[in-house]
Amino acid sequence: MNGSNHNDKSTDMDTEVEEEEDKRQFDNQDYEGIIFKDILCNLHDEAGIPSSWILLDSRLTVDVLCNSKMLSNIKKAKRFLVLYCNVGTMSVNNKGDLKGYGTVWYHPTEIANILSPNNVQKMY
């Protein structure tokens, strides 16, 4: 009986040591946020997704960026793009060139830089 209690305590201590080592490793990393499956955890006081990130969204059929620093040759498009999302619709009428990728839609008030995985697969 004492042997099984001792083993249980040893296992608990081993688990605590491993968790503490994981925490120390994590604390030493340079990061802005963490993604656990589909949940974004922003570790700064401000809300939102960092503008330096480019996300992939399998439901999106076009590429839309909001960070003008990532783009060159931003100009008015010949026609509008209407995006439909969970908060309504948005008109986009600018395009720009993403280095190493190609032309994408540009909207400065979009919440994130998002590429369509289907378009990425076509490019690469």
DSSP 38: T
Average pLDDT of every residue of the chain: 75
Residue 66 lies in a domain: yes
Beta carbons of 117 and 63 less than 8 angstroms apart: no
Indicate whether 117 and 70 sit together in one domain.
yes
Q: How many domains does the chain have?
A: 2
Residue 5 token pair: 């209690």
Indicate whether 37 and 97 sit together in one domain.
no
Residue 69 token pair: 């620093």
Residue 26 token pair: 């994590």
Q: pTM surpassing 0.85?
A: no
Residue 104 lies in a domain: yes
Confidence of residue 13 (pLDDT cuts 50, 70, 90): low
Residue 49 lies in a domain: no
- The dihedrals phi and psi of 5, each to the nearest 5 degrees, come to -65, -40
Residue-range definition of the domain harbouring residue 58: 54-123
Cα 35 to chain centroid distance, Å, stands at 7
Indicate whether 13 and 58 sit together in one domain.
no
Residue 37 lies in a domain: yes
Residue 86 token pair: 């969970």
Residue 64 token pair: 């839309």
Residue 40 token pair: 């974004």
- Give the CATH number for residue 98: 2.40.70.10
Residue 48 lies in a domain: no
Residue 113 token pair: 């830089």
Residues 80-106: tens digit of each pLDDT: 999 887 778 889 999 999 999 999 999
Q: How far is CA 87 from CA 51, 75, 84, 110, in A?
A: 20, 26, 8, 12
Average pLDDT over residues 34-39: 48
